[in-house]
Amino acid sequence: MHRLLLLGCLWLLAAPPASSIFQRPTGTPAPARLQYLLEPLHPTVHTQRGATATLPCVLRALPRNYRVKWSKVEPANYRENIIIITNGLYHKNYGPLSPRVRLRHSHRYDASLTITDVALEDEGRYRCQLVNGLEDESVSLTLHLEGVVFPYQPSNGRYKFNYHEAKRACEQQDSRLATYQQLYKAWTEGLDWCNAGWILDGTVHYPIINSREPCGGRLLLPGVRTYGARDKQKDRFDAFCFTSALQGQVYFIRGHLNFKEAGQACRNHGAAIAKVGQLYSAWKFSQLDRCDGGWLADGSVRYPITTPRERCGGLPDPGVRSFGFPSKEMRTYGTYCFVG
């Protein structure tokens, strides 16, 4: 009986279509001053992967016959995807976020959205909209994940990925394609990379700190240089991936192992051979620092340095160093393992 009553009330919410364009046409007036919704004190909420985050949305008064609609703008297509709709008494969840979202509802004016077990794809722009006839109003918030951006290319060389292959490659390495904001922030923190790579919105860029001849010439100023939007099927570049904190640990096993033996060594410890994104995350968030090259799941050999020193590559800046993709038969390296 209660289930039927709940379904009936959800039907009365009259949910709009699953997606709509989240942009105001050029030349239209700015939205009216908020009457019912409070401006968020902090429009950006900072979090990490695996955490629980709450996006605030609080009403100053309750209008009659209102609904609150939460939605998210996806940077890959700039469309608005509905997450949850409530009329204050009942609610309904939508889309892939559905199992991990709820309304905080700490008091009758609280329509804040809580996301549990935050995932990499949750980062982005959210909107809380009060739907109240002619008096609709909304506030926008940004969920920001602390993380690290790294360039990625496959074993067969640079510029081999179309957009969809780049997206899949990042996901296979426990990461996702970076947003422009993430790439720009990484550049301000020292990312200097000459090869152009795809980012999440389908554009192609490369970040340069030190201007030089092979990277556009010495006359161009430092910055995030852009190739703009490219053909997602035909054009081929590298990828810029983004990852955040781990729910687990990366550790090193010393030895003279080939690739197959490295994977078995991790399994013998109840772990899996680490992915590239997991090593970057351990370097960024756990300050993993080792001079030893070790196998990773994609067949590359890398090592993380947080305290630069002469005998560990000699480079002056911290980073994850790479030996590339040596022959998988070479019994020369240890291995980096990940246990969740």
- Cβ distance 69 to 94 under 8 Å? no
pLDDT digits (tens, 9 = 90+) for 194-220: 999 999 999 999 999 999 988 888 888
Closest-CA residue to 120 (of 197, 180, 178, 184): 178
Asked if 252 and 327 sit in the same domain, the reply is yes
Give the mean pLDDT of 5-34.
Answer: 44
Asked if 140 and 116 sit in the same domain, the reply is yes
Range of the domain at 178: 147-243
pLDDT-based confidence at residue 16 (cuts at 50, 70, 90): very low
Asked if 112 and 125 sit in the same domain, the reply is yes
3-class secondary-structure state, position 170: helix
Give the mean pLDDT of 252-280.
Answer: 97
Asked if 213 and 228 sit in the same domain, the reply is yes
Q: What is the DSSP letter of 291?
A: S
Q: How far apart are CA 178 and CA 74, in angstroms?
A: 13
**Residue 249: φ, ψ to 5°:** -140, 140
Angular region, 313: left φ>0, alpha ψ -120 to 50, beta rest? left
- Cβ distance 41 to 56 under 8 Å? yes
Q: Is residue 9 part of a domain?
A: no
Of 145, 168, 188, the residue at which a domain comes to its end is: 145
Tell me the whole-structure pTM to 2 decimals: 0.83
Does residue 327 register a pLDDT over 50?
Answer: yes
CATH number at residue 239: 3.10.100.10
- Cβ distance 53 to 118 under 8 Å? yes
Say how many domains are in the chain: 3
Asked if 126 and 156 sit in the same domain, the reply is no
Give the mean pLDDT of 265-280.
Answer: 98
Q: Is residue 12 part of a domain?
A: no
The chain-wide mean pLDDT, for the chain, equals 89
Does residue 28 register a pLDDT over 90?
Answer: no
Does residue 270 register a pLDDT over 80?
Answer: yes
- Cβ distance 131 to 69 under 8 Å? yes
Asked if 118 and 135 sit in the same domain, the reply is yes
Q: Is residue 20 part of a domain?
A: no
Characterize 40-62 residue by residue with b for buried, 16 or more Cβ atoms within 10 angstroms of its Cβ, and e for exposed.
Answer: beeeebebbbebebbbbbbbeee
CATH number at residue 78: 2.60.40.10
Higher per-residue confidence, 21 vs 315: 315
Asked if 191 and 132 sit in the same domain, the reply is no
Q: Is residue 261 part of a domain?
A: yes
Asked if 127 and 177 sit in the same domain, the reply is no
Q: How far apart are CA 277 and CA 237, in angstroms?
A: 19
Q: Is residue 22 part of a domain?
A: no
Distances (CA, A) of 84 to 57, 109, 118, 119, 127: 13, 16, 16, 18, 11
What pLDDT is stored for residue 220 in this prediction? Answer: 85
Of 192, 226, 243, the residue at which a domain comes to its end is: 243
Question: Rounded to 5 degrees, what angle do the CA atoms 285, 289, 290 make?
Answer: 145
pLDDT digits (tens, 9 = 90+) for 29-77: 555 678 899 999 999 999 999 999 999 999 999 888 899 999 998 866 6
Asked if 41 and 141 sit in the same domain, the reply is yes
Higher per-residue confidence, 241 vs 220: 241
Does residue 114 register a pLDDT over 80?
Answer: yes
Among the listed ranges 109-118, 143-152, 309-318, which one has the minimum average pLDDT value? 309-318
Asked if 212 and 222 sit in the same domain, the reply is yes
Interacting residues of 27 by C-beta distance below 8 A, sequence separation 6+: none
What pLDDT is stored for residue 63 in this prediction? Answer: 87
3-class secondary-structure state, position 279: helix
Q: Is residue 299 part of a domain?
A: yes
Q: Is residue 206 part of a domain?
A: yes
Asked if 239 and 253 sit in the same domain, the reply is no
What pLDDT is stored for residue 133 in this prediction? Answer: 74
What pLDDT is stored for residue 18 in this prediction? Answer: 35
What pLDDT is stored for residue 32 in this prediction? Answer: 60
- Cβ distance 196 to 205 under 8 Å? yes
Q: Is residue 17 part of a domain?
A: no
What pLDDT is stored for residue 180 in this prediction? Answer: 95
Give the mean pLDDT of 135-161.
Answer: 95
The rounded percent of the chain whose pLDDT value lies above 70 is 89
Asked if 236 and 153 sit in the same domain, the reply is yes
Give the mean pLDDT of 215-237.
Answer: 93
Of 127, 145, 163, the residue at which a domain comes to its end is: 145
Give the mean pLDDT of 228-234.
Answer: 96
Interacting residues of 290 by C-beta distance below 8 A, sequence separation 6+: 252, 303, 304, 305
